[in-house]
């Protein structure tokens, strides 16, 4: 007996093999159904088939790179100070320390709720600023690697105006707008 390989109509990938299954209907008769068995070939996702292209080198002049590096370091130092101050404010030990209340009068429940809200809000600000610090560190690393100012998605240069407004930007305006449109 000769085994034949079953292929799909396109002839590219093997089609799923059909296997017969027996099922007892309860009245003594056995019906046979075809059950699809997945083929052994595993399809690769389209993204995996394409090899990732290496990031192109930055087209910015060394003077521009130095200016952006100084700008990033200044912003990072500013955020470190802000995070330190906010952390001190958010993590005060008791209400009298946090709001400067020196009286020992009983505390109203609404005051406790307000204090808790302010603390949560401040912690949210700290998290946002820490995320920006991570982005700044990544931008500084891109300057060291020579890929600063290149969109990570499209591999096209990011305009200087965008880098001046947001020096830690990873993506060009066109790509970022398309991402925001897809979220809606």
pTM, whole model, 2 decimals? 0.59
Residue 120 lies in a domain: yes
Residue 72 lies in a domain: yes
Q: What is the pLDDT of residues 145-178, one digit of tens each?
A: 999 999 999 999 999 999 999 999 999 999 999 9
Using CA atoms, how far apart are residues 38 and 15, in angstroms rounded to an integer?
A: 8
CATH number at residue 94: 1.20.120.910
Instruction: Provide the pLDDT for residue 88.
Output: 73
Domain count across the chain: 1
- Candidates 23, 56, 18, 59; CA nearest to 39 is 18
Catalogue the E-assigned strands of the chain. 17-24, 30-37
Residue 173 lies in a domain: yes
Residue 163 lies in a domain: yes
Print the domain residue range for 77: 62-183
């Amino acid at each position: 007996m000769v085994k034949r390989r079953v292929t799909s109509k396109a002839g590219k990938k093997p089609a799923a093999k059909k296997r017969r299954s027996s099922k007892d209907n309860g009245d003594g008769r056995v019906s046979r159904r075809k059950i699809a068995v997945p083929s052994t070939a595993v399809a690769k996702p389209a993204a995996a088939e394409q090899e990732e292209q290496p990031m192109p080198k930055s087209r910015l002049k060394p003077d521009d790179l130095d200016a952006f590096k100084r700008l990033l370091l200044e912003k990072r130092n500013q955020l470190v100070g802000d995070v330190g101050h906010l952390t001190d404010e958010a993590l005060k030990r008791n209400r009298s320390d946090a709001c400067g209340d020196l009286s020992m009068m009983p505390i109203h429940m609404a005051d406790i709720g307000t204090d808790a809200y302010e603390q949560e809000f401040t912690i949210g600000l700290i998290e946002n600023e820490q995320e920006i610090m991570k982005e700044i560190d990544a931008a500084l690393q891109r300057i060291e690697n020579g890929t600063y100012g290149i969109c990570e998605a499209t591999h096209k240069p990011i305009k200087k105006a965008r880098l001046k407004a947001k020096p830690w930007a990873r993506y060009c305006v066109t790509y970022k707008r398309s991402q925001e449109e897809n979220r809606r």
